[in-house]
Amino acid sequence: MPQIDDKLAPIYEEVVRRNAGEPEFHQAVREVLESLGRVVAKRPDYLEDALIERICEPERQIIFRVPWTDDKGRVQINRGFRVQFSSAMGPYKGGLRFHPSVNVGIIKFLGFEQIFKNALTGLPIGGGKGGSDFDPKGRSDGEIMRFCQSFMTELYRHLGEYTDVPAGDIGVGAREIGYLFGQYKRLTNRYEAGVLTGKGLFYGGSLARKEATGYGNTYFTQAMLKTGGTDFDGKTVVVSGSGNVAIYTIEKVQEFGGRVVACSDSSGYIVDEAGIDLDLVKEIKEVRRGRISQYVRMKGEGNGVYFVKSGEGSIWDVACEVAMPSATQNELTGKDAKKLVANGVTAVGEGANMPCTPEAIRTFQQAGVKFGPGKAANAGGVATSALEMQQNASRDRWSFEKTESRLATIMRDIHDSCYSTAEEFGAPGDYVIGANIAGFIRVAEPMRAFGVI
Ligand code: NDP
């Protein structure tokens, strides 16, 4: 197991002590500190002024009550969060997650990762994350709207296009962003388009934002494959999830000639050996808001098409050459990784945030599998959010082609910067170390320039 350098170990111990009961946050901090030993060995000045300690402590954490009324007239109470982690690079930027598993530790892990991810894009955005333990599943449009309005009624006072700019994440798509933006506009009496990203195209949204995270991970993974002289063409691919990130990963992989044979949701996974019919997945998920098992009912079982219920198997049992976990954190375990390696996987690109456990990452790296960590591989979403902010600020609107071409360039630059940083710090081919160090250095420099704040 990689170790934390002796000089950094006390920082980790203090993070664990001060943030008790937040294992995902500890996991995210640990991974970064494991990489930074190589930096402080070369540049001990980064240990001055508690720079690394400061990066591990959010600038501000907001927790609030969200009362709302359901369709039966009952008052429901949820908890809302916004962790404004670092504004060294620009306004806090990061999505909102609505899922019953949300707690402050999950939001902190996501906000912490976001700092480095956003720095890697090379765009002027700081790191933050927010959300609620609200479960949107099975709720009517009216209930979703009333929840979003109540959530924004507290959150709006902490936001602004130069302060904090949320976007979507799990459970927060175009519908929710619309309700949130509407309430922000009403409360502030300002049409401040740049205060939220992931907006609808008819009120300040950017073309290609919806596709950006999935497309971006595909560009990143393609760049990793190219370092081994190969690409997606003809490869068998498994993509977990069937939400925003998964759907547009499947779309781009198919365009690049890959055959995606499985995808999933929290109820289980489907396999279609001939290649997933993406129009059908979109119909089920984007239009009907249904369950992935409907795919098998609509397509007909047999001929390589089947559904495996959650708990009765893992999507990672399906053999593939490229795996792209795109559902949620810690969804791919050490055991799953061993199975994937045994089945011949050659590259893994994380579409979700921290979907692979530390043991899984170790297994991939020891087996020589190219591994793209989420903070680099899924940065295309936030990068395109920053492009949406640019368009809003200049009251301009770019074509799909122009936006996607900027995205593709950004993803290749992120890949190259992770690759060359890993080499520079004596860990060739290790994208985890490359991403952590390249992201850290970009944030550390402005922090130092600002003095002790
Ligand atoms: P969506 O809500 O659109 O989709 C999430 C998908 O993952 C759904 O298929 C969902 O299934 C599944 N899922 C969620 N939680 C679980 C769970 N506990 N167990 C099994 N399956 C689960 O979210 P996104 O596609 O936007 O986000 C997916 C991941 O990508 C997250 O980690 C997110 O943080 C990350 N990400 C998203 C970005 C974006 O631009 N949207 C940007 C960067 C990262 P079900 O419907 O059954 O819940």
pLDDT tens-place string over residues 364-403: 999 999 999 999 999 999 999 999 999 999 999 999 999 9
Q: Which of 7, 72, 129, 285 is catalytic?
A: 129
DSSP secondary structure code for residue 286 in this structure: I
Instruction: Quote the ligand 1 centre to 351 CA distance (angstroms).
Output: 9
- Architecture field, domain 212-368: 3-Layer(aba) Sandwich (3.40)
Give the dihedral sign, CA 426/428/433/438. Answer: positive
Q: Closest Cα to residue 211, out of 238, 245, 166, 188?
A: 245
Nearest CA to ligand 1 atom 32: 352
Nearest CA to ligand 1 atom 22: 266
Fold match flag (60-191 vs 212-368): yes
Number of helices (H) and strands (E) in the chain: give both, helices first.
16, 12
For β-strands 322-324 and 305-309, DSSP reports them as unpaired
Q: Which atom of ligand 1 is nearest to the CA of 378?
A: 43
Q: Which atom of ligand 1 is nearest to the CA of 327?
A: 7
Q: What is the pLDDT of residues 89-144, one digit of tens each?
A: 999 999 999 999 999 999 999 999 999 999 999 999 999 999 999 999 999 999 99
244 is in an annotated binding site: yes
- Strand-pairing partners, residue 131, are 81, 97
Instruction: Quote the ligand 1 centre to 188 CA distance (angstroms).
Output: 31
436 is in an annotated binding site: no
Q: What is the pLDDT of residues 173-209, one digit of tens each?
A: 999 999 999 999 999 999 999 999 999 999 999 999 9
b (16+ CB within 10 A) / e for 239-273: bbbbbbbbbbbbbbbbebebbbbbbbbeebbbbbe
Q: Which residues line ligand 1 (CB under 6 A)?
A: 168-171, 213, 241-246, 265-267, 326-328, 351-353, 378, 381
pLDDT at 170 over 80: yes
Q: Which atom of ligand 1 is nearest to the CA of 167?
A: 40
Instruction: Quote the ligand 1 centre to 450 CA distance (angstroms).
Output: 36
Mutate to test the pocket of ligand 1, among 293, 328, 350 (most ligand atoms within 8 A of CB): 328
pLDDT at 267 over 80: yes
Average pLDDT along the chain: 97
- Strand-pairing partners, residue 127, are 86
pLDDT at 79 over 80: yes
pLDDT-derived band at 1 (thresholds 50, 70, 90) equals: low
Instruction: Quote the ligand 1 centre to 421 CA distance (angstroms).
Output: 29
**Residue 359 and residue 334 in contact, taking contact as beta carbons nearer than 8 Å:** yes
For residue 18, the model assigns a pLDDT of 98
Distances (CA, A) of 306 to 256, 267, 318, 322: 25, 14, 12, 20
CATH topology of domain 1-57+430-453: Glutamate Dehydrogenase; Chain A, domain 3 (1.10.285)
pLDDT-derived band at 334 (thresholds 50, 70, 90) equals: very high
Nearest CA to ligand 1 atom 5: 243
Mutate to test the pocket of ligand 1, among 115, 266, 269, 270 (most ligand atoms within 8 A of CB): 266
Instruction: Quote the ligand 1 centre to 5 CA distance (angstroms).
Output: 33
**Residue 168 and residue 198 in contact, taking contact as beta carbons nearer than 8 Å:** yes
The verdict on whether 370 is a catalytic residue reads no
For residue 2, the model assigns a pLDDT of 79
**Residue 89 and residue 442 in contact, taking contact as beta carbons nearer than 8 Å:** yes
Instruction: Quote the ligand 1 centre to 394 CA distance (angstroms).
Output: 31
**Residue 114 and residue 85 in contact, taking contact as beta carbons nearer than 8 Å:** yes
Nearest CA to ligand 1 atom 33: 352
Q: What is the mean pLDDT of residues 342-347?
A: 98
The pTM score is 0.96
Mutate to test the pocket of ligand 1, among 114, 265, 310 (most ligand atoms within 8 A of CB): 265
Q: Which three-class secondary structure string do you get for the chain?
A: CCCCCCCCHHHHHHHHHHCCCCHHHHHHHHHHHHHHHHHHHHCHHHHHHHHHHHHCCCCEEEEEEEEEECCCCCEEEEEEEEEEEECCCCCEEEEEEECCCCCHHHHHHHHHHHHHHHHHCCCCCCEEEEEECCCCCCCCHHHHHHHHHHHHHHHHHHCECCCEEEECECCECHHHHHHHHHHHHHHHCCCCHHHCCCCCHHHCCCCCHHHHHHHHHHHHHHHHHHHCCCCCCCCEEEECCCCHHHHHHHHHHHHCCCEEEEEEECCEEEEECCCCCHHHHHHHHHHCCCCCCHHHHHHCCECCEEEEECCCCCHHHCCCCEEECCCCCCCECHHHHHHHHHCCCCEEECCCCCCECHHHHHHHHHCCCEEECHHHHCCHHHHHHHHHHHHHHCCCCCCHHHHHHHHHHHHHHHHHHHHHHHHHCCCCCCHHHHHHHHHHHHHHHHHHHCCCC
Q: What is the dihedral of CA 144, 172, 209, 260, to 10 degrees?
A: -120
Q: What is the pLDDT of residues 218-248, one digit of tens each?
A: 999 999 999 999 999 999 999 999 999 999 9
Class of domain 60-191: alpha beta
| Domain spans in the chain, listed from the N-terminal domain onward | 1-57+430-453, 60-191, 212-368
Per DSSP, which regions of 31-121 are E strands?
A: 60-69, 75-86, 92-98
Instruction: Quote the ligand 1 centre to 403 CA distance (angstroms).
Output: 23
Residue 285 burial (CB count, 10 A): 22
Nearest CA to ligand 1 atom 21: 266
Nearest CA to ligand 1 atom 28: 327
Q: Which atom of ligand 1 is nearest to the CA of 99?
A: 15
